[in-house]
Chain A
Amino acid sequence: MDMMEKLTILADAAKYDAACTSSGVVRGGRPGTIGTATNSGCCHTFSADGRCVSLLKVLYTNHCCYDCAYCVNRRSNDVPRAAFTPRELCELTIQFYRRNYIEGLFLSSAVLKSPDFTTERMIETLRLLRTEYQFNGYIHAKAIPGADPELTYQLGLVADRLSVNIELPSESSLRLLCPDKHKADIFRPMAQIRDGNERSRAELKLYRHAPRFAPAGQSTQMIVGATPESDQHILTLTQGLYRKYHLKRVFYSAYMPVSDNKLLPAPAGFRPPLLREHRLYQADWLLRFYGFTAEEILDRDHPNFDASLDPKSDWALRHPEFFPVEVNRADYEAILRVPGIGVRGAQRIVTARRCGPLTFEGLKRLGIVMKRAQYFITCSGRMLPGLRCSQESVYRRLTGLEQAELPGESWQQLSLFDGAVG
């Protein structure tokens, strides 16, 4: 089998993993090595589906001994199988990296023979890459659930970020669709990575050359739309993961019909819940950067996202008592809650108002987009001059703005001359 064929099979099998970030660790260049890593990561291209391609994302092998219903690589699925050799993969990574195609390697794998055996192969590959090929760039490795903790530790010493996929948002779904995986198998390595990372940070403060264990932390991913969990359930789970396991990111992946298993939505006519995934990411950002809690965003009366409105605007409309926010006096946290003002906008407002009171003109010059924000703020006690609105009309206008920005049904310009020709 030639390289082209192998790469196609193993990249194709890895593409459903959403994570492709290269962030969270800073490493300058070292003479004789190749590669650096920056805190914010770097996107090298964007594929036709609009997703960032930062890392060379491949499986070590797609030979799998598990039979998870939702997965393309399940052993009962009849697809071509392949495996890299460690040297092939190192060579490919280095050559892609030199040409600035990629920021590093994302190495995952199907479970070949056993979790331990698979992890050993991955460690072998990454060690070769780090030592012989002197690769100093970013490496993201998948920890295989069920592998020996010592092996997971070794893997974390050569990788920057580790991730364990929790796959499905509840234990009952997991039991139903992945008979070979158990909840405990997934959370055990997660806790181990968290503890290992914290211990390594503490040691690094004492000894400069202490081993670095997964310095860029860990992330996880779950499939949305294959099983019946509500958005509230998923978001609360996410918040728990951030708080309890200190994850850097939780990724959501809209279920793509890859199987005709009876337990899953039928492939025919199934449309992946892309909008739902989008809303989950919006809410995820609110959790991480905007000081929201899951309970504020969704509750028992609103267990699912409003499809026609983003979660931040939705929260704002449900809490009229919080608004309007006075941009010249309100604290940073309150400004962050205004729909249409993000982290950067709020920071600019806080900086700029030290030099004098802000006006609506001034806000525009700061780069604040007024489309959404105008309904929720005052400048020196005044709303935007000429703005007339009621709570209903704000809802209508906000959903109207949202409609225009969402993909989906494309709007068509009506033509006076349709049908006239012919």
Chain B
Amino acid sequence: MPQFCYRYDGSFSGFLCCVFESYVNREPPTAFALLEDGPTLWEEREVAADENHAKRVYAALGRVSPAFRAFISRGFLTCLPEREVALYDLIRRGLREGDRVLQDLSDPTVARVNLALTKMWTEWDHLKGFIRFSDLDGVLVGEIEPKNRVLPLLAPHFAARFSREKLLLYDRTHREAIFYVNHKWAIVPLEDFQMGAAGAEERSFRALWRKYYKTIAIEGRTNPKCQSTHLPKRYRHVMTEFMEDEAPALGEKGKGEAAIGPVPLPSRFS
């Protein structure tokens, strides 16, 4: 029996279309590839995105149980290698056995996806706190470099929290950004993004924050190991408190322009 590699556009609905195709053709795919990937060793099938097919599969997953559907759709956001194969496997079992397949935590596939999900939620939880925004002409702008595709999970959090603000959050890894204006958010692909230079007021708040951050630590208890356990170093290069004073923008770490004189305090304090 020939083995097939399914090519699709990389979107979640594209993946659901692959599931649809595989049921139509009665063949479980051995591998998945993106349209732009190089050739593979297997016979290939290119799956065109069809909104209708995707909806039918999505509804079928929901019939297994809402929790099962959420498990699959969240699992698709993780950075698990070959996640499509694992998720496809779970979908087949879910459709056959019902959602109790998720309770079989010691099953290798379920455990693998579960671990990836746990890591993703941890990253999400970290980023909710570790993201730093800069006020650039009234728009809050931030950048992240996550392993998983956490933007769709972060968007509702920040939209609720900063409902009266305008927001832009750029994901460097997946090259997309959340835009939030007037109580509506959207995730838009964005190839390149450079953060603009900060104004005087923004720089002074950054300086205040850095000063606060330094002050709050108790000297007699310095514990870098504990600190890195809770705040892994990979987050730090976009965090205000770990950047040099006068760093002109979040995007240019380490370059550090010449100091532009003493930082003036925000006018509202003087």
Contacts and interface: CB of A to CB of B under 8 A. Distances in A.
Interface of A: 2-4, 7-8, 11-12, 15-16, 28-36, 42-54, 56-57, 88, 91-92, 95-96, 98-101, 103, 137, 254, 256-257, 272, 274, 348, 351-352, 354-356, 358-359, 361-363, 365-367, 407
Contact of B105 (A2, A52, A137, A348): A348
B128 A42 contact: yes
Given A48-B224, A351-B105, A354-B103, A98 B165 contact: yes
Contacts of B220: 256-257, 272
Contacts of A95: 135, 205, 266
14 contacts: A7-B211, A11-B216, A15-B215, A29-B160, A48-B227, A50-B225, A88-B269, A92-B208, A99-B133, A256-B218, A348-B105, A351-B105, A356-B106, A362-B106
Contacts of B107: 355, 365
Interface in B223-270: 223-227, 229-231, 239-241, 265-266, 268-270
B164 A34 contact: yes
A46 B225 contact: no
Contacts of B111: 365-367
Contacts of A359: 106
Interface in B116-160: 118, 125, 128-135, 140, 142, 157, 159-160
B100 interface: yes
B268 A57 contact: no
A34 B213 contact: no
A45 B241 contact: yes
A57 B131 CA distance: 19
A137 B157 CA distance: 13
Contacts of B133: 98-100
A393 B134 CA distance: 56
Contact of B227 (A36, A50, A57, A88): A50
Contacts of B105: 348, 351-352, 355, 365-366
B217 to A, nearest CB: 4
Contacts of B240: 99, 101
B215 A43 contact: no
A316 to B, nearest CB: 24
Contacts of A366: 105-106, 111
Contact of B162 (A43, A98, A352): A98
Chain B CB within 10 Å — which of A11, A35, A52, A355 has the most?
Answer: A355
A420 B199 CA distance: 57
Nearest to A274: B221
B209 A99 contact: yes
A407 B229 CA distance: 13
B180 to A, nearest CB: 12
Contacts of B212: 7-8, 11, 56
B239 A45 contact: yes
B201 to A, nearest CB: 9
Contacts of A88: 269
Nearest to A344: B118
Nearest to B206: A99
Given A44-B129, A98-B133, A358-B106, A34 B162 contact: yes
A92 B204 CA distance: 11
B164 A32 contact: yes
B103 A352 contact: yes
B71 to A, nearest CB: 14
B108 interface: yes
A52 B229 CA distance: 11
Nearest to B263: A4
Contacts of B129: 42-45, 54, 100, 103
Nearest to B160: A29
Given A2-B265, A45-B239, A88-B269, A355 B163 contact: no
Nearest to A56: B212
Contact of B269 (A2, A8, A354, A358): A2
B131 to A, nearest CB: 5
B268 A352 contact: no
